[in-house]
């Protein structure tokens, strides 16, 4: 697997020491595979990439065919399988596929809309020992429901996240796609307990202290007990590239901030002053 955080750490180290890491020997690993195992889905989201609906589709792979493909992927040195769809939990053999993938040594993720996760399903997911479960949210409450075209979808997905959390499953959920109304309470709750927060803004607010997202997030955290330091980087201005070295420098700075080291809170990336 190509680990971007590890790569950025190596770049930052090279910048500090002036020495590039030695090239790796041997065959490189294959790509990460996000596998749309089934087209059927219980939702019909506005933005669906698969144009899925809640009925069976012809031409899906049988369990035996999935296993054969899995053997091929292993032979191609694929390290990571993300089981996705459609809604992968609608495949009756999903847990057989996951168990075989784990036994074969893949890093196995599950990408689900989360609405089908009740207590019993959460138990099955936890028992399957997925390395990661991803549940996407497109906004808060009704905003998510509108995109997903199902009233209550947000509550059901969030309920799924909570059921998995209490079972110790590593699950991620938050994507900020909508800016207004700004989900300040939810952001504050999501960032509670963090040691440092870095906000990347691809915009400036003329005359304001920092970028627009930074201002909102800092306001959302203002007055919260134990709120983490919030640092801002404005990047990509005027169409400039934001490269890995810049991101590595952000991470280094955040690590320092988490240790209590002070410095500039508002920064520009990739701009000559
Ligand atoms: S949950 Fe995913 S697969 Fe299902 S309709 Fe929405 S975007 Fe499509």
pLDDT-flagged residues of the chain (< 50): 1-2
Nearest atom in ligand 1 to 112's CA: 1
What's the rounded Cα separation, in Å, for the pair 214 and 217? 5
| Ligand 1 contact, 138 CB (< 6 A) | no
Nearest atom in ligand 1 to 43's CA: 5
Of all protein residues, whose CA lies closest to atom 8 belonging to ligand 1? 48
Task: Say if residues 266 and 214 touch (Cβ distance below 8 Å).
Answer: yes
Nearest atom in ligand 1 to 42's CA: 4
| Ligand 1 contact, 52 CB (< 6 A) | yes
The CATH code for residues 179-273 is 3.40.50.920
Nearest atom in ligand 1 to 113's CA: 1
Ligand 1 pocket test, candidate residues 46, 50, 149, most atoms within 8 A of CB = 50
| Ligand 1 contact, 248 CB (< 6 A) | no
Ligand 1 pocket test, candidate residues 44, 51, 52, 91, most atoms within 8 A of CB = 52
For residue 27, the tally of other CB atoms under 10 A from its CB is 7
CA 269 to chain CA centroid, nearest Å:
23
Burial of 248 (0-12, 13-18, 19+ CB in 10 A): buried
| Ligand 1 contact, 57 CB (< 6 A) | no
pTM of the full predicted structure? Answer: 0.63
Q: Write down the pLDDT at residue 131.
A: 87
Find, among 77, 214, 82, the residue nearest to 136 by Cα.
82
Q: Write down the pLDDT at residue 176.
A: 66
Q: Provide the edge-to-edge strand list for the sheet that holds 80-84.
A: 33-36, 80-84, 107-112, 132-135, 171-172
What's the rounded Cα separation, in Å, for the pair 266 and 234? 8
| Ligand 1 contact, 228 CB (< 6 A) | no
Q: Write down the pLDDT at residue 1.
A: 42
Q: Which residue has the tokens 């240790």?
A: 259
Q: Write down the pLDDT at residue 148.
A: 92
| Ligand 1 contact, 113 CB (< 6 A) | yes
Task: Say if residues 129 and 141 touch (Cβ distance below 8 Å).
Answer: no
CA 212 to chain CA centroid, nearest Å:
22
141 Cβ neighbours under 8 A, 6+ residues apart: 154
DSSP 3-state percent helix, strand, coil across the chain (nearest 5): 40, 10, 50
What's the rounded Cα separation, in Å, for the pair 39 and 58? 9
| Ligand 1 contact, 41 CB (< 6 A) | yes
Task: Say if residues 259 and 265 touch (Cβ distance below 8 Å).
Answer: no
Q: Write down the pLDDT at residue 60.
A: 96
Q: Write down the pLDDT at residue 75.
A: 93
Pairing verdict, β 80-84 and 171-172: unpaired
What's the rounded Cα separation, in Å, for the pair 155 and 165? 15
- How many angstroms separate the alpha carbon of residue 41 from the centre of ligand 1? 6
| Ligand 1 contact, 111 CB (< 6 A) | no
Domain ranges in the chain are 24-178, 179-273
Fold of 24-178: TIM Barrel (3.20.20)
Nearest atom in ligand 1 to 44's CA: 5
| Ligand 1 contact, 216 CB (< 6 A) | no
């Amino acid at each position: 697997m190509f680990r971007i955080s590890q790569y950025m750490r190596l770049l930052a180290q090279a910048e500090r020491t002036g020495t590039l890491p030695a090239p790796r020997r041997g065959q490189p690993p294959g790509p990460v595979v996000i596998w749309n195992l089934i087209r059927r889905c219980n939702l019909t989201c506005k933005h669906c990439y698969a144009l899925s609906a809640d009925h069976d589709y012809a031409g899906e792979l049988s369990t035996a065919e999935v296993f054969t493909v899995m053997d091929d992927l292993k032979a191609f040195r694929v390290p990571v399988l993300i089981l996705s769809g459609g809604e992968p939990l609608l495949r009756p053999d999903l847990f057989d596929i996951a168990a075989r993938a784990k036994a074969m040594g893949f890093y196995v993720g599950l990408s689900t809309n989360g609405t089908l996760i009740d207590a019993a399903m959460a138990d099955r997911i936890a028992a399957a020992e997925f390395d990661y479960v991803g549940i996407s949210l497109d906004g808060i409450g009704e905003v998510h429901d509108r995109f997903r075209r199902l009233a209550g979808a947000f509550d059901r997905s969030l309920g799924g996240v909570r059921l998995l959390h209490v079972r110790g499953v590593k699950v991620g959920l938050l994507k900020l796609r909508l800016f207004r109304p700004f989900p300040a309470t939810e952001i504050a709750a999501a960032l509670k307990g963090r040691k440092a927060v870095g906000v990347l803004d691809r915009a400036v607010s003329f005359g304001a202290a920092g970028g627009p997202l930074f201002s909102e997030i800092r306001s959302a955290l203002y007055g919260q007990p134990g709120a983490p330091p919030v640092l801002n980087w404005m990047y990509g201005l005027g169409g400039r590239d934001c490269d890995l070295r810049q991101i590595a420098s952000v991470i280094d700075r955040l690590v320092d901030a988490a240790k209590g080291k002070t410095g500039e809170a508002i920064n520009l990336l990739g701009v000559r002053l």
